[in-house]
Structure formats: C-alpha cells, structure tokens
Chain A
Amino acid sequence: MLSLGSGGAKSTKPSFVSYVTPEEIKSEKDPPKKEKLPDLLPGEVEFCSANPILKYTQDDLSQRGVFGTLFCTNFRVTFISDETPQEKKAKTFKNKLYGENDIPLVCVDHIYGVYDEKRKLITGGLVKNKYPSKMIIHCKDLRVFQFCLRFTKEEDAKKIFQGIAHHCLEEKSLKCVFAFSYMGTPSPGTDLSFCREMQRKQETIMFDSPEDWTQEMKRTKANCRLVIENKNFELSQRLPKYFVIPLAIGDLFSYQGKGLPIWCWSHYSGCALFKASFPPVTQEDGDFQKHLETMINAVAHNYLYSVKTEDLSESLPNIQDIQQSYNKFKQFFLIENSTDFWLSDVKWFSSLESSGWLDIIRQCLQKAVEVVECLEKDNTNVLITEEEGTDLCYVISSLAQIMLDPYYRTLMGFQSLVQKEWVAGCHAFLDRCNHLHQKDKECHSPVFLLFLECVWQLVQQHSPAFQFSETYLTVLSDSVHVPIFSTFLFNSAHHRESVMKAESPLAQSGPLSCPTVWDWSVQFDSKAQNFFYNPLYSEKVKHEKAVRKPHKPKHQRQLSLPSTAFKTPLKKGFFKDETDSLKKMLRVKRLSRWMGSPDSPAATTREFYESWQHRPVDYHGLLLPCLDGPAVRVWMQRYLRWIPEMYILGGGSVAMTTKLMELLSQVQDLKRVLEQRDTSQAAKIDHHPYLQHRLLSFGSSGRLSSSFPFAYTRNRSFKPIIPTGLMQSLMVTDSLASQEDEASSVASFV
C-alpha cells in the first residue's frame, strides 16, 4: 500500500482530448489492455472497475472525450485516463486526497442515467438489470461528470454502474463512511512543514475543554458561568460537553436543559448574546412558561436588566425552505453543455431570483445586523431562539460575532468560531449534510453552507477586514463533503464521543482519531495553503514592544464606534440601587420583541448601517454588510469555477492577485535589505502591517484563467467563447425596435 506522501502525488489526468468520435475509435482499435490503478489512500479499498469508459470533456455537445478506467472504491469514484499525460503540469493548488477526476462518495449529489436519449434520475431502487449508456454524476461541489458506458463489456458496465449507484445512493451506516477505514493516519515523518502545521493547527481553539471556554470568557470579559455538569452528558445528549450560561441560573436539571440560554459572546459593554432551544410556543403548559420566564430573567440579569428575544423560526425560513431553495439554486450551475449554458444565460437573473437563495442570504445577514444593532447600539442582551437551537441560531450568532469581533475575521479566529458555535455547539452535520444518503428528507439542509455564503458576502464587501480569502471559504465548503474529517461527521458532541469511543477497541490503537478539517496539511501542502490568506488583509498595526502598556489591549475597545451619535453605555450597576419596581417596569418595557416595532426592521437597520457607513472605515472595528439588492451577489468562485464558458483567460481576480503578490514580494525584499542595514545602523523603520504576509507563488504559466486555482484551462486553445443561440435571446417586441435609427430619416425615406 502506498503511503500518503506518494499517494497524494496523483499525476494522471487527461490532458488529451480525442478528436475522433467514439464510434471511430471503436472500429479502429481495440480497447487498451493496460489498466492503470489509482493510487489508493491508506485504508482505501477498490470495489469494482470498468474499462474502457469514455469520459466526456464538458466543452461542447460533440461526443469528444477521453478513454480510461472507472473505479469505485470505499472512498471515491475515480477515473483514470488511458492516455499518459503529455506534459506534467505542476499544479500549485492540489488536493492531496482527491484529484480532479475523483469524486468522494459522499460528494455525489445525484446520478442520472441516459437510456435511449432520455435522462432519468437514478435512485437506489432503479438499479436493476438495465444500465444506461451514459452516466451523469452531479457532485455536491458542483462538478459534473459524464461517462459513456457503451464501450465496455456489458457485465463490467453493469457492475460499475450498480456499484457506483449502490455506494453513492443507498442509505448506509456511519461505520461505512471512509473516515472509519482511513485510520492508518500517515506518519508525518520528518516533513518540516508538519511541525508548522501542527503549530498552526493548535492555534485553532477546539472548545473541547473547560480551559478553552474560560479563556474565551476571559477574552470577551464575560460574566457568566461555565457548566461542566454535562461532561459525561448526564444533563443532555443534545447539549455540548461544556457550555456557558448566565450567572443567574440556578437549576440546571429541569427540562433536560431545554430552553437553557447558552452564552455565545459578550460585548465589551457587558451585554451578551445568548441562544436557546425553545419548543413551539403553542404546546407549552403553564409550568414551562414559568421556566421560560426564569430563563429570560436570567439573561436579563446579565447586564442592565434588559433583554431582547427573537424567535428565529418565526422570522427566518426554516431548514426545509433553505434546502428547497438551495436545490433550485444549484441547478443553475450544474451545466452539462454549452447549449444549456447559453440558453440559461438569458434568464439568468430571474432564475436566480426565483430560487430565493440570495434572498435567504440577505435575510440572515439582515437578522444578524439586527442582533448586532441591539448589542452595539442599544447595549441590550439578546436571546435568539429556535426549536432545536442548533441551526439558524448558529448562522445568526456566528455572523453577529464576525461583524462585531475582528478576532473572528482572522483565519484562526474564524476556525475557532466554527469550532465554538458549530462543532462544539452540536450542529447536526451528519443529518444536515446527508452523508449517509438517508431517505428522510426532513433533516437535510445546507445550513452550514448558508453560513459560509453569508460570510462570503461580508468578505467580498470588506475584503481587507478578513485574513482569509474567498478560496479558503470555497475549500472549506468542499471539505464538508470529504468524509475524513471528524468535524463534519457527527450530529452532536455526544454522538462524536460515543462513536469514537465505540470504534477505538477495533482500531486497537487508543481512541479513534480522525483529523479535524483544520489540519489543512491533510489536504494541501503549505504552499497551497497560502491561497487561504488574503494578501490584502489589513493587519492590525502592532504596538512597538517598548510602548506596550502594562495591561493588555482589550480587543473590544476598538469595537466602540468613535462616535457621539451612539449613546455611551450606561454605567454598569446603575440599577443595583434602584428599587425592584423600577426594575420590573423597565423590564416590561425592554422585554419587547424588536420585531413588533412599528418601523420595519429593515428601515431601522438601514439607518444603523448608514450611520456606520458615515464613519471612516475601521477594519478592526464593527463591520456591517450592505444589504441592498445589487450588493448581495453570487459566490462566483464556488459556483462557476467548473464551467469552461465562464473562464476568463488572463483575467479575473487572479490577474490582480498576481500583480499584488509581485509588489508584496518587492516590498518584502526591500524591507529585508533595510533590516540587514538595521543591524549595523540604528535606523528606525516603522513596522508596516503588510509585511507579515505570506507570499503566493503562481506558476510562471503567464496567463491564468479566472477559475484559478480550481480548474485549469487546458487544451483550450486561445479562443474566445462565443455565445450561441443569441437569436432567440432578445426578442424586443417593442415598436421601438422597428423604428429607424434616426428619427428624421424615417421621413426622408418613407
């Protein structure tokens, strides 16, 4: 078995396009005998294979393609070309686990079979004796593969089709997920980069220990209580191992932790954001009502006796709506040929709108801004609730934290945030991502993707505020469908722990340890990881060591707007001397749900946005997204990267990044020259924030395509992509269309 080191270096990829039609080839030559084997990962087992299979190149309708062998293993479906690659192109951005012709089994979204020119969706039950002449695989990362099965022997074709359909579509148990076979974690050996990776990895706070939580509370100056009573999940299996609640809560054990307000983040003023799971209001008895009141009171006690609650299941689309909308949306990107592309191009905007996906993104961001407004402007505690409390609550709370806290806009901070809110917080990744192909459609929903989409909107609007790049987000969204990382495989902390424990005796090597997704070295070498960093990140200017103040600078202080428009927060403890009645009065007043206000929330947040916008940009302060129609965009990199019609050769943001990198390296060179000088001369140079950046190295290939670093343009001669079907595109039925260009000329000619 090959070790990961060499296993990762898969070099086979089709760089040859056959220009003869398959029929010609068939008559001309025998199927090639030599069969190439895929480089298997440790623990990967081949199920079946078939040869020759024709993989269509996506470019057009002509039946061109590459012959090769199709394999199905316990990890992926993979295609290996018969052609020896003519030239080995060093790919700068290569995933070590799977290449461009590999589809991890859980990444398969849908399989279509073409039977006599008719396309049918393959479901588990449909796999009987008949196999299609053409198999189309739609992936969750939006790649589309088309394989022609006509040239291989019937039983081989049947076997591979059934094998793939079975392993990709049938419901399976968690144990069958590749992560449990991929135990032979490769020994890192003496890889120098590994040590660095480890360090880097360690920077991500996992929130699986009380210390992590204490640290986080300290960082945000939270005045709450850490709950360790659920260490062995005695309290609830749905609750995290460790969590933080308001100080005022005494009784933990009623209602199995249901309705417990769980602390997310504290504002420097003292007010804090909490989330809770609430059952639907209608079903509750008086007892529970009382319980809820206690809980809300406890939250209110946290700061100034004020709280605003918001039931997200009422004001945001539910997870099924999200799933439906996304299903519609993604269809626009699963494009099989040029004709489809140009046909759908005409109705592009209205199609996008009809899916409602961008609108859901806008609603989530809007809601997050409302939460931010309460915390930042009104300094009230906020309690967001939801039935389960682990889906939209996380979207909103994470977004609000990113907007408020610059720490979460660094790469490590962001990973810690995902860890804190989503992973430790028990988001049901397994169900939501549907890794096991369960038939139950109710619980599938791309909630985490929705969160990444919202973050992307922030990144594209305020790129210098983020240490990570768009590419990082795209890779993270892909990694959800790589079944190796413990991060996305479980439904809750309890689930993770129990499965891992149960598995460990089998592995006979201590407790099971899947890598977390944050261990990026599993997927990318350190050079490729540089693409995760935003070269334009405006890093915070660090104070000179000499001038450093004795007390640590509080991260939150910078959050405060340097403004007079915002009221200064009242002194803490102001109410302590007040009578109870006043408290009560205030409470009633401030407990109002902000949704109920006569002004539409959009109008008030709009005002909030505008007043923020009038201030100078502070990338280390509060960050708000613009939510107007044109500002919410499609995540081009993620959705359009595989569509050849979309490639701009020599253009796109990569052209800009290349130029920037060039300049950055020049500045760094100069800096180095100066620093060398400095050792001999005491010349003082201020530390410029740009200089801690890492450099990307692009291949010297000259002109990269806009889809870099994901898809590479090969074999595409330097030719423009000329739209087809323009004729039907614009039917202006207006009488204007037939009017003569020059008004006067009508008269002269008629």
Chain B
Amino acid sequence: MEKSGSVDSVESLCSKGRAIEKVLQCKCECRTWIKSQFLCIDLMFFCVQVYKDTSKGELPLLPEELVQDSAKDVTYICPFIGPVRGSLTVTNYRLFFRCTDREPVFGLDLPLGVLSRVEKIGAATSRGDVSYGLACKDMRNLRFVHKEPEDSLKKSVFEVLMKFAFPVSNNMSLFAFEYKQVFPENGWRVYDPLAEYKRQGLPKESWRISKVNDRYELCDSYPAALVVPVTITDEELRRVSSFRAKGRIPVLSWIHPESQAAVVRASQPMVGQNGRRCKEDEKLLQAIMDANAQSHKMFIFDARPSVNAAANKMKGGGYESEDAYQNAELVFLDIHNIHVMRESLRKLKEVVYPNIEDSHWLSNLESTHWLEHIKLILAGSLRIADKVESGKTSVVVHCSDGWDRTPQLTSLALIMLDSHYRTIRGFQILLEKEWLSFGHRFQQRVGHGDKNHTDADRSPIFLQFIDCVWQMTRQFPAAFEFNEYFLLTILDHLYSCLFGTFLCNSEQQRLKEEVPKHTVSLWSFVNSQLEEFVNPLYVHYASHVLFPTVGIRHLQLWVTYYIRWNPRMRPQEPVHQRYKELLAKRAELQKRVEELQREAANRTASSTSERAGSPTRSITPVQTFV
C-alpha cells in the first residue's frame, strides 16, 4: 500500500513528522507546498511540530510570499507548555515561529488573516522586554515577549506584523490578490446558477429566471439571476423591492422536485408603525403559493424572536400581517441577532481557551448559550424542512435583512431536504449560492484585513452555520460525502485570506473587484485533492431527507474546532481512519484477486487439463459504494 505524503488530519504524530520531512524535502513542487502549508495548519492542532530542516532556516513559502521581517530570541508564552524561545518570521501572508532547542521541535505557523488584534501589552520592562498579545479569530490568543530593538529606528517585528496583518487598514491588498497558485481545477466554475436551477428541475410553467437584477440595480446585495413566479413582471418586482429591506425581494431558493413546494428567501417587509402594505408584495407571495398546487397555505418563517420583529416596526421594518397575507401563517423562530451571537462566542472562547475548568465545565458551557443558539437554528431549519417535506407547503424565510439568519436557515433546511448538498461539490454550490451570491456580508462579518476589531458588524454567523452542519454530520455519520477536515479547512480559509472565495460582501462587489480574475478559489484547492476531504463512510441515499434531533442532549461542543489548540484534547485516531485502512485493504485484496484470476485464466488457456480450484464466487458484489 502506498504511503502517501498527504497525511490525513489525524494520523499519528509519528508519521506526520515523516510526512512533513518528506514535504520539506521536495520543495520544488508547488503542490506539495500547499500541502505542507495545510499540514502546518493541521499540525498546530497538535501544538507540536517537527521541522527537520531547521539548520538552513528555510521556510516553506508560498508563491509570491515574501519574508518581511524576522526576529530571533522571541519568547512565545504557550499556555500549555510554558514559555518557548525561538525565532519569529513575518511574511506578507503569515507568521512563523519556531523553536529548535527543544524536543520535539516546536512551531507555530498561522496566516495573518486569523489575527483580529495585535497589541502591545504593558510597557517595556527594565530588561527591555516587550510583550505582544495576538487575538485570533480562530479561538486562541497568542502571546510573545521579545526585546525591543536597540536601534530605535528599526521597527519591531510586531510593527511589521501589524502592517501585514491588517492590509485593508493600511491601504494594501489582501494576500489573496497576490497568491498565484495554479490548480488543475478551477473553483470559480463550481457554481453556475442556471445549471443549479436546472438541476432542481425548475418548472418553466410556474417559475422564471428574471434578469431584472442583471446590473444589480434592483438589489445590490442579490445575485444577478433571480427566480420568481412567472406571473410577476419585472416592474412589479421593482415595486416589491422598495417594500423589502435593502430591496431583498422574495425569490426562490429551492424547489421540491415532487411536490414543488418552494423555499423562498427575502428580507423583512418595510411595514413600519403604520402597517404599510404593498399590493405587489402580497401578489408575489400569493403567486409563490399558487405555484405549488399541493397546498393552499404558506408559511412565513421570521427567524427573529417576535419581540425583536415587533421592535423593528419602530425602524420601519416589521413582519407580514396576517390580514394582508391571507393563507399565510407567520412563525417566529426566536433566533437572536448577530450581536448576541458574537457575545456568545466571546464567552465560549473564555470558557475553552486556554484552560478548561473541569468541574464547572458543563455549567460554564451552558452559560455561553452557544449550543442553545445552535439548537434554535437547527430547530428552525427543521421546522422549515418539515413544512416543505411533510406539509408540502411553500415557505418564505426572512430575518431583518435576510443575509444572516436567513442563509443559516435556508441552507440548513436545504441540506436536510436535498442530498445533493451533502456531497462535496453540492455543498460548495450551496455556499456559493445561499451565502456568497445572496450577499452574506463576509467582509463585514469577518473583517478581512481590518484592524477595527471592535466593529459591531463582526459576527460568527458563518461559523455557526458550519457548526450546525458539523452537528448534523455527527448525527448522520454516513450521510455526508465530506469529512470534518473539509469543514475545518473551510473555516481556516474563511479567515486566512489566501483564497478569494470569502472576500467582499456581495456578488456585485466581487465582480467589481474582479475577485475571480485575480484570486484563487478555495474550491480550486479543495477539488484538486478531493481525497483529503472525503468521508469514507459516505453512502449516497439520493432520496433521504435528514431530520436531525435538535435537543441539547444530542448537541455537542465541536471540540476539534473550538478546543483544538489544547494539546490534551487532541483527538484519538477516529473511526474513519481505520475505515480508510479497510478500504485500502479491500482495494489491495481486490487487485490481488483480479491478478490471480487473470493468472488462472491464462493458465486454463494454456493447459485446459490443469484445473485449479478456482472460486466460482462472483466478485461483482464488491463495489466501492453501494
């Protein structure tokens, strides 16, 4: 069996060391570079890294990655193993720290994009030591201590770091625009809206793809292609857009292949205190209902708690009144806003990093409400999926602006309803469609390259969604084509700014910035080495709808994400590792059987008298996936 250098995320450290070594040896090959980079990220996981080639001090740089500054004698205060002395290097993409005088060799390698804050802690001590704290978006804080350069004209390495960590604030471009790796796959071609709606089997007699937003004039945060009922004209859509917050009109997101019940997304109606109405909007919703012959009812899911929805009326927003929208039932899903979520994650970080208080772990976890929010989001999605699947009714989903809670709910409901979105490529399409094209404000929510870490627009909405997906993969271990490493990779590159995928706030902005032209898509990278991300347990059941159990009892904290920096929480060899071994074993045996059969066939051909006890067993039942 070939031992490939592409190490699975959880292979034992031993072989990991070997793999790194191997990767370090063949630097010339670009692809391996990328791998090494991922291995490094991966390795941070274990807090222990093995660099063999330390004497030369060479760093595995990416194409276009340039060393900006480095400093020796920097101490990293590791909360788990104590102070570590080593050298620090800052490039235009990442930070390297390595310490060679301890066994095993210790290293840190993180993209600067994960930094949310870099600051000097306290003043210089008498010995001239300065301390720097680095707060990261991926649930850890790093602390370094180093000597202030004696030459006061020379900038400290941390000042350089600050410049490159926040390029947007310093009027520089993100590294994604410089990174010019070429992959065999082009991830920018993964999503084609027309092909996707065709796959869904969009019935032409009731729905049409409107070009009204072709130039993003109707709504600048929506995609160019919008699916609306045939009975509604573009002119009517324009009028609806003035009634919906940010012009985000109700448009189709997904349609059930059999019942034709539709999942429609929108933003809140601008009802206001006076109960404004818009007859085109009412007509549009009626048309959506009519497009589904199976039901004469419709559900409007407002993701917010009813109190908040009502409070929005003060600001001109609000929710659909049942007088104006007959046959529509309004349901509030009680999901809180971005600020509550941000606060919840902040609390969670406090609870899990760096140290966990064992005896109060559970109540501490509960006090963060993080899993409760996850439960509410999953429960809301479940109700949506249930109405569509079991009730055969169409649903409209919105929150305030329809770009945070709404994509969480629609995309989770879609994952439950449509097995296509549980494949690797299908999931990519889902993200491209529900999140990127429909304008989840990634730039604002993540704050790429922006030093303003207190920005109230930041919120872990997308992380929360990935967490919900992870919860589902836990409950249905064989229903998803991708593995945990895939989700981790997405989250790591949400912050890394290596790929263009999660840059900007909307499709329009991405086109304006020519993101697809100047950057590499994350999917280029992923799809070029799919085997890394495949869940070996995957069984493709095309028609299965997944209804997860949303009780807190079945939800778990995603330890391998939130607590991955804690070396003690390192996962043991998971089941799928052994499963992979089994798959390899099967492939090996299969090959062997084939060989023998060929041999036997040859022999019987040469001498018909010799009759080996060849098995009559057919080997056909052995196929890769049943």
What is A's interface to B at a CB cutoff of 8 Å? 341-342, 345-350, 352-354, 358-359, 362, 461-464, 536, 538, 606, 609-610, 613-614, 616-617, 626-631, 634, 636, 640, 645-653, 655-656, 658-660, 662-664, 666-667, 669-674, 676-677, 679-681, 683, 685, 688, 690, 703, 706, 718-723, 726-727, 729-730, 732, 734, 736-746, 749-750
Contacts and interface: CB of A to CB of B under 8 A. Distances in A.
Contacts of A659: 478, 537, 539, 579
B582 A664 contact: yes
Contact of B544 (A616, A703, A739): A703
Nearest to B12: A616
B340 A736 contact: yes
Greatest chain B CB density within 10 A among A358, A652, A677 is at A677
Contacts of A634: 553
Contacts of B89: none
Interface string B309-322: 00110111100000
A671 B586 CA distance: 9
A667 B553 contact: no
Greatest chain A CB density within 10 A among B307, B359, B585, B621 is at B585
B567 to A, nearest CB: 7
Given A650-B476, A703-B544, A662 B626 contact: yes
Contacts of B383: 722
A662 B572 CA distance: 24
A655 B456 contact: no
B363 A350 contact: yes
A722 B386 contact: yes
Contact of B548 (A651, A666, A734): A651
A670 B365 contact: no
22 contacts: A359-B359, A538-B578, A610-B567, A613-B570, A628-B569, A630-B365, A634-B553, A650-B476, A663-B582, A670-B589, A670-B593, A671-B589, A677-B612, A681-B596, A718-B545, A722-B383, A734-B343, A736-B337, A737-B308, A737-B339, A741-B339, A749-B315
A741 B399 contact: yes
A673 B336 CA distance: 59
B247 to A, nearest CB: 14
B370 to A, nearest CB: 11
Nearest to B562: A630
6 nearest A-B pairs in the assembled complex, by CB-CB distance = A629-B361, A720-B547, A749-B315, A743-B456, A349-B366, A736-B339
Nearest to B312: A740
B572 A617 contact: yes
Given A463-B575, A651-B548, A737 B336 contact: yes
B404 A741 contact: yes
Given A614-B104, A667-B585, 6 more contacts: A345-B551, A613-B568, A667-B586, A727-B334, A741-B339, A743-B455
By secondary structure, the A interface counts as: helix
Contact of A663 (B308, B586, B592): B586
Contacts of B124: none
Contacts of A703: 544
Interface of B: 12-14, 48, 104, 305, 307-308, 311-312, 314-317, 334, 336-340, 342-343, 356-363, 365-366, 369, 371-373, 375-376, 379, 382-383, 385-386, 390, 399-401, 404, 455-457, 475-479, 537, 539, 541, 544-554, 557, 559, 563, 566-570, 572-573, 575, 578-579, 582-583, 585-586, 589-590, 592-593, 596, 599-600, 612-615, 617, 619, 621-622, 626
Nearest to B369: A730
B585 A690 contact: yes
B593 A673 contact: yes
B590 to A, nearest CB: 6
A650 B477 contact: no
Contacts of A730: 334, 336, 369, 372-373, 376
B476 A648 contact: yes
A350 B364 CA distance: 8
Contacts of A749: 314-317
B479 A679 contact: no
A617 B476 CA distance: 27
A726 B379 contact: yes
B356 A655 contact: no
A606 B358 CA distance: 12
Given A350-B366, A666-B586, A706-B475, A345 B361 contact: no
Given A669-B617, A677-B596, A737-B336, A723 B551 contact: yes
B388 to A, nearest CB: 11
B475 A606 contact: no
Contact of A722 (B382, B401, B537): B382
Contacts of B307: 738
Contacts of B48: 614
Greatest chain B CB density within 10 A among A609, A631, A663, A738 is at A663
A626 B554 contact: no
A345 B379 contact: no
Contacts of B546: 650-651
A670 B612 contact: no
Given A674-B593, A703-B544, A626 B568 contact: yes
Nearest to A749: B315
Nearest to B382: A720
A346 to B, nearest CB: 7
A636 B551 CA distance: 13
Contacts of B572: 461-462, 617
B338 A741 contact: yes
B585 A464 contact: no
Nearest to B343: A736
A652 B582 CA distance: 21
B358 A362 contact: yes
A679 B613 contact: yes
Contacts of B477: 651, 653, 655-656
Given A461-B572, A614-B13, A720 B386 contact: yes
A576 B547 CA distance: 70
A219 to B, nearest CB: 28
A723 B550 contact: yes
Contacts of B365: 349, 629-630
A199 to B, nearest CB: 28
A429 to B, nearest CB: 31
B420 to A, nearest CB: 17
Contacts of A649: 547
Contacts of B563: 630
B13 A630 contact: no
B578 A464 contact: yes
A672 B592 CA distance: 12
Contacts of A345: 375, 551-553
Nearest to B623: A666
A648 B548 contact: yes
B337 A737 contact: yes
A686 to B, nearest CB: 10
A651 B476 contact: yes
A719 B579 contact: no
Contacts of A354: 363
Nearest to B555: A348
B267 to A, nearest CB: 10
Nearest to B317: A749
A688 B551 CA distance: 41
Nearest to B551: A345
Contacts of B554: 646, 648
Nearest to B365: A349
Contacts of B362: 349-350, 352-353, 358, 629
A629 B343 contact: no
B315 A745 contact: yes
A630 B585 contact: no
A536 to B, nearest CB: 5
A649 B369 CA distance: 27
B363 A349 contact: yes
A652 B548 CA distance: 10
A745 B582 CA distance: 55
A48 B386 CA distance: 46
A674 B592 contact: yes
A650 B544 CA distance: 9
